[in-house]
Amino acid sequence: MSILTRLKLDGRTYQRELIRQTSYSNKSIIQYLKKMAIAGILEEGTESIVTRNKHIWVKWYMPTQLGKWFILFLKNPDEIPSDLARKTIQELFELYSSSIVEVCEKYGLSLDFFHEILDGHLKQKRKTNNKPFRNA
């Protein structure tokens, strides 16, 4: 989990950065990163950079939408910029919503059921806070 929390939410994190930031062996870190890429949590790639007049290939990782979701839950909320958290939550809700629609179509469920659940939670929240809902 400590590897995931060290990944940038928005952009590439280089393998060598992760190796420097943790106490795990290179081999362990590489194995964990590969497993997370296979699981669809991370996207991986390589790029060529020039250092001391030499071209070298460096490995990078970037969280997928699913990976961002995991990272948001694992990181301290104070470490996450609110605009990035908001954007990620909206993207994930879109993804989740499309999955709900597919499940409803596949199993003949009514989307109204899910609308009622959301509306019920919203009404309860309004009662609790005694404030009108504000659409962000």
Boundary of a domain, candidates 78, 95, 126: 78
Look at residue 33 and tell me whether its pLDDT is greater than 90.
Answer: yes
Neighbours of 68 (CB within 10 A): 22
Check residue 22 and give its pLDDT.
85
pLDDT digit string (tens) for 70-99? Answer: 888 888 888 888 898 888 888 888 888 999
- Kindly state whether residues 7 and 70 are assigned to the same domain: yes
Q: Are 37 and 31 in contact (CB under 8 A)?
A: no
Domain that residue 101 falls in: 81-136
Boundary of a domain, candidates 52, 78, 104: 78
Residue 131's pLDDT band, with cuts at 50, 70 and 90, is low
- Kindly state whether residues 69 and 85 are assigned to the same domain: no
- Kindly state whether residues 73 and 87 are assigned to the same domain: no
- Kindly state whether residues 7 and 56 are assigned to the same domain: yes
Check residue 12 and give its pLDDT.
95
- Kindly state whether residues 60 and 101 are assigned to the same domain: no
- b/e per residue 115-135 (b: at least 16 CB within 10 A): eeeeeeeeeeeeeeeeeeeee
Q: Are 71 and 95 in contact (CB under 8 A)?
A: no
The percent of residues in the chain predicted with pLDDT above 90, rounded, is: 41
Domain count for the chain, please give it. 2
- Kindly state whether residues 69 and 87 are assigned to the same domain: no
Look at residue 135 and tell me whether its pLDDT is greater than 70.
Answer: no
Average pLDDT over residues 39-53: 92
